[in-house]
Amino acid sequence: MKFELQYSDTKTNARAGLITTDHGIIETPIFMPVGTQGAVKAVHMPELKDDIKAQIILGNTYHLYLRPGLDILEKAGGLHKFNGWDRPILTDSGGFQVFSLSENRKLREEGAEFRSHIDGSKHLFTPEKVMDIERTIGADIIMAFDECCPGDAEYDYAKQSLGLTERWLDRCFKRFNETEPKYGYQQSLFPIVQGCVYPELRIRAAENVAAKEADGNAIGGLAVGEPTEKMYEMIELVNGILPKDKPRYLMGVGTPINILEAIERGVDMFDCIMPTRNGRNGQIFTPFGTMNMRNKKWEYDFSPIDPEGPSFVDRIYSKAYLHHLIKVNEILGLQIASIHNLAFYLWLVKEARKHIIAGDFPIWKTQMVRQMDNRL
């Protein structure tokens, strides 16, 4: 994997670059739709490529390991062949999913023992096993196995957790370097900076991660319960240490405003379930604020969802029609909302890139944050 830093904003830390993988080029900053179980919910691959304009999508190690299972994925020739997506894929290591199973998992030096949320069966994820699983899934970018501690964790717990994550990281790199890709193209391993909201721990973690000289680096453990201001503070702190010539990936964040704030602080890559999850609950993101399509105010509004929107759904369907579909829980309504929101997120990062290159990113960003912070 190669990263070319093309433009840097002179007044902020915003950047525009190119990531080159064996499955194609990614223009940064970029948002990556989440396809947890091998599919972005309610969206076909042609819609992802041609309408939403996704350049890279995510899969999740924990979920794909449980279903469909490694045997099927390997026989298919990896996730790309299995789901029909021929552009880059990133896999999260499952660390966050194991973290979220707090009542059904035990952490120890060897790894994380957990019970499946599907059938209660017992499993053990070690750093070595996670690397083997991600080799079998076959994503272009794979994540190290870490512990994601809560945003409100006490210092002593966060320090202990970071120590475990760092020891696991060494084991991840050892296993990664001992093995080869399975399907004839290269894979890149990204380490993850943890450390909760404690500057001392984040600095230590970022320095340790930077020393790995990986193809790219990730910032994890944010947007998990800590105040938004703390999240921005940690991003700024970490990005002051992570190498400038490697892409920086902020995991699981967030709202459109979060994304612009993080771009301003030097982040290149994002993912979040919010566009699809919130869309399925009737929330629509636009450049001028959010709309709750369950609200009665849209019942007789026959204007397009977003006449200037980037997706075909924005122009051919009305607010009244989408209100009706969401209200009656019609699957088409969930699809329309998901497609709209994903297309909007991809449009937003593309516009950010355009304004970084044009040299007026700070002015544009300030205006967009003000507009998007409205309820319509």
Q: Please report which confidence band the pLDDT of residue 224 belongs to, taking 50, 70 and 90 as the band edges.
A: confident
For residue range 77-87, list pLDDT tens digits in order: 999 999 999 99
Domain boundary among 213, 240, 272: 272
The active-site residue out of 92, 215, 268, 306 is 92
User: Mean pLDDT, to the nearest integer, of 133-146?
Assistant: 98
Which amino acid does the sequence have at 98? V
- Residue 265 domain-assigned (yes or no): yes
pLDDT confidence of residue 150: 84
> Does residue 224 sit in the same domain as residue 299?
no
Residue 360 marked in a binding site: no
Distance (Å, whole) CA 354 – CA 352:
5
Please give the angle made by the CA atoms of 195, 224 and 334, to the nearest 5 degrees: 145
> Does residue 283 sit in the same domain as residue 268?
no
Q: Kindly state the percentage of the chain with pLDDT values over 90.
A: 93
- Whether 102 has a pLDDT exceeding 70, the answer reads no
- Whether 239 has a pLDDT exceeding 80, the answer reads yes
User: Mean pLDDT, to the nearest integer, of 217-221?
Assistant: 96
Mean pLDDT is highest, among 107-121, 218-232, 276-290, for 276-290
> Does residue 335 sit in the same domain as residue 265?
no
CATH of residue 86:
3.20.20.105
Mention every residue, 6+ apart, whose C-beta is less than 8 A from residue 13: 236, 239, 264, 265, 266
> Does residue 78 sit in the same domain as residue 221?
yes
- Residue 7 domain-assigned (yes or no): no
- What is the span of the domain harbouring residue 244? 29-272
**Closest to 191 in 3D by CA, of 176, 180, 181, 201:** 176
- Residue 363 domain-assigned (yes or no): yes
> Does residue 313 sit in the same domain as residue 355?
yes
Domain boundary among 246, 272, 298: 272
Find tokens 């890139």 and name the residue.
353
Domain boundary among 213, 239, 272: 272
The answer to whether residue 271 is catalytic is yes
Distance (Å, whole) CA 281 – CA 276:
9
- Whether 162 has a pLDDT exceeding 80, the answer reads yes
Residue 245 marked in a binding site: no
- Residue 8 domain-assigned (yes or no): no
Distance (Å, whole) CA 307 – CA 217:
38
Residue 92 marked in a binding site: yes
- Residue 17 domain-assigned (yes or no): no
> Does residue 39 sit in the same domain as residue 55?
yes
Distance (Å, whole) CA 247 – CA 173:
18
> Does residue 340 sit in the same domain as residue 354?
yes
The answer to whether residue 92 is catalytic is yes
> Does residue 267 sit in the same domain as residue 313?
no
Number of domains, the chain: 2
> Does residue 257 sit in the same domain as residue 287?
no
Read off the tokens for 368: 């967009």
- Whether 148 has a pLDDT exceeding 90, the answer reads no
Distance (Å, whole) CA 204 – CA 262:
21
> Does residue 154 sit in the same domain as residue 65?
yes
**Closest to 38 in 3D by CA, of 98, 2, 91, 114:** 91
Q: Is the pTM of this model over 0.95?
A: yes
Distance (Å, whole) CA 186 – CA 176:
12
The active-site residue out of 268, 271, 306, 314 is 271
pLDDT confidence of residue 234: 98
Residue 86 marked in a binding site: no
Q: Are 26 and 89 in contact (CB under 8 A)?
A: no
Q: Of all helices (H) and strands (E), which one includes residue 370? A: helix 361-372
- Residue 244 domain-assigned (yes or no): yes
> Does residue 106 sit in the same domain as residue 212?
yes
Residue 37 marked in a binding site: no
SS3 state of residue 193: strand
- Residue 4 domain-assigned (yes or no): no
Q: Of all helices (H) and strands (E), which one includes residue 143? A: strand 141-143
Distance of CA 346 to the CA centre of its chain: 12
- Residue 330 domain-assigned (yes or no): yes
> Does residue 103 sit in the same domain as residue 224?
yes
